[in-house]
């Protein structure tokens, strides 16, 4: 079952942090082979450990209705607003194959299904191939074992494994000519079209905030971290940086779009640096042995928390001046005030989430350090009660 952690928009940027959670739901082993068969054509073969009566995937806009074709004879896909279902008129089956065309659209609250790179490569969000299966009335989460097959001569980079939920959702796989390059503690795959200023900003903010979080929160990364950057749509107006930490899987993916991507301006550098610091904060929020965040539970905690952690890291590492931090806080405070302090909207989760952390009157570093320790004890997710207990003991 897919749940979404929510997303954040600041100025012109978006960062999406969905997370798939099985919540102790029973699972069924599924082998998934992904073959890149032609430039914009993919074939996915599912093999189930036991017969199933349906494959049920959380709906991703029009992606599957437009681009998926069921190849297995006798089977078809039907869609409702919440899900796409592949079935064979109720008859059990053990295999299913689909053909997929590269999809250039995306839904604002979802990961982008495909990213095109300037080197001709493509990254595929594997999570959109994953979901649940049904055995009659019983629903089981897929426990997937994914294998990737590129075109001849093509390099394939698999996303790091899902450590917190083995067999659970995976991030982006890259198919193309490039290799990921080690940069300090992380590996990075960067679109050759990425302008120098953005390359510098992402690498600099990434390296500085990562080493700051490591020291401040007294934790090393639990996952090998792979950062992917793609650039597209220079024709569209403005500047958009859509980033997502793919949680528990050691991956951060950024997609940059718009004319202003080519423009080196301090304001855009500041937006990009904050986005990087925010996503890296999520990586540390999930650098725990168990527990962490749950998509359906108080998203203001991890999003507002990431905002507060990011501002602290940017200030302490000198990436942001005090004035810049103040200006951002003031802007978010104004947004939150307009929303009456509520955290039930897209903007409220981030703006009012940040305000809630600010109002606690405790340091963000000791607070989150304690939250990370607390979540690990029994695997309870981050929650308001956890914060209250920690703050009252401080
Ligand atoms: Zn976020």
Distance 278 CA to ligand 1 centre (A): 6
Residues in the 5 Å CB sphere of ion ligand 1: 8, 15, 17, 303, 306
Q: Which of 234-238, 282-286, 288-292, 348-352 has the highest mean pLDDT?
A: 348-352
Distance 300 CA to ligand 1 centre (A): 9
At residue 12, the pLDDT reads 28
pLDDT tens per residue across span 328-348: 999 999 999 999 999 998 899
pLDDT tens per residue across span 31-70: 999 999 999 999 999 999 999 999 999 999 999 999 999 9
Distance 170 CA to ligand 1 centre (A): 18
- Structural domains of the chain sorted by starting position, each given as residue range(s) with its CATH number in brackets: 24-167 (2.60.40), 290-394 (no CATH)
pLDDT tens per residue across span 83-132: 999 999 999 999 999 999 999 987 777 888 999 999 999 999 999 999 99
Q: Taking CA 386 as the corner, what is the angle to CA 358 and CA 211, rounded to the nearest 5 degrees?
A: 60
At residue 246, the pLDDT reads 73
pLDDT tens per residue across span 235-287: 888 888 887 777 666 888 888 888 888 888 999 999 999 999 999 999 999 88
Distance 219 CA to ligand 1 centre (A): 20
Is 90 exceeded by the pLDDT of residue 160?
A: no
């Amino acid at each position: 079952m897919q749940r979404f952690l929510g997303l954040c928009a600041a100025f012109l940027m978006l960062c999406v942090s969905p997370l798939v959670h099985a919540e102790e739901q029973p699972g069924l082993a599924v082998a998934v082979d992904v073959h890149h068969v032609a430039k914009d054509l993919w074939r996915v073969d599912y093999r189930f450990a036991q017969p199933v009566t349906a494959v049920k995937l959380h709906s991703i806009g029009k992606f599957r209705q437009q681009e998926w074709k069921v190849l297995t004879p006798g089977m078809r896909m039907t869609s409702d607003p919440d899900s796409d279902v592949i079935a064979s008129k109720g008859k059990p089956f053990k295999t299913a194959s689909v053909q997929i065309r590269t999809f250039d659209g995306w839904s604002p609250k979802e990961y982008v299904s495909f990213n095109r790179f300037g080197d001709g490569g493509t990254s595929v969000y594997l999570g959109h191939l994953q979901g649940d299966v049904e055995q009659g009335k019983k629903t089981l989460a897929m426990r997937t074992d994914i294998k990737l097959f590129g075109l001849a001569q093509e390099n394939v980079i698999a996303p790091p494994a899902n450590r917190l939920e083995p067999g659970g959702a995976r991030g982006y796989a890259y198919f193309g000519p490039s290799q990921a390059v080690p940069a300090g503690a992380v590996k990075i795959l960067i679109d050759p079209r990425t302008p120098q200023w953005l390359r510098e900003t992402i690498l600099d903010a990434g390296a500085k905030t990562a080493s700051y979080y490591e020291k401040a929160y007294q934790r090393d990364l639990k996952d090998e971290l792979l950062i992917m950057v793609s650039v597209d749509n220079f024709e569209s107006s403005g500047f958009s940086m859509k980033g997502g930490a793919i949680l528990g899987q050691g991956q951060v993916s950024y997609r940059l779009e718009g004319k202003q991507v080519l423009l080196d301006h301090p304001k855009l550098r500041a937006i990009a640096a904050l986005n990087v610091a925010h996503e890296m904060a999520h990586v540390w929020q999930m650098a725990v042995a168990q527990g962490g965040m749950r998509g359906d539970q108080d998203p203001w905690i991890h999003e507002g928390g990431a905002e507060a952690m990011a501002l602290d890291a940017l200030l302490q590492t000198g990436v942001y001046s005090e004035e810049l931090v103040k200006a951002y806080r003031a802007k978010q405070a104004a947004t939150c005030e307009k929303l009456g302090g509520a955290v039930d909207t897209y903007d409220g989760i981030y703006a009012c989430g940040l305000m809630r952390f600010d109002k606690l009157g405790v340091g963000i570093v000791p607070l989150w350090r304690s939250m990370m320790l607390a979540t690990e004890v029994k695997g309870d997710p981050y929650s308001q009660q956890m914060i209250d207990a920690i703050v009252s003991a401080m």
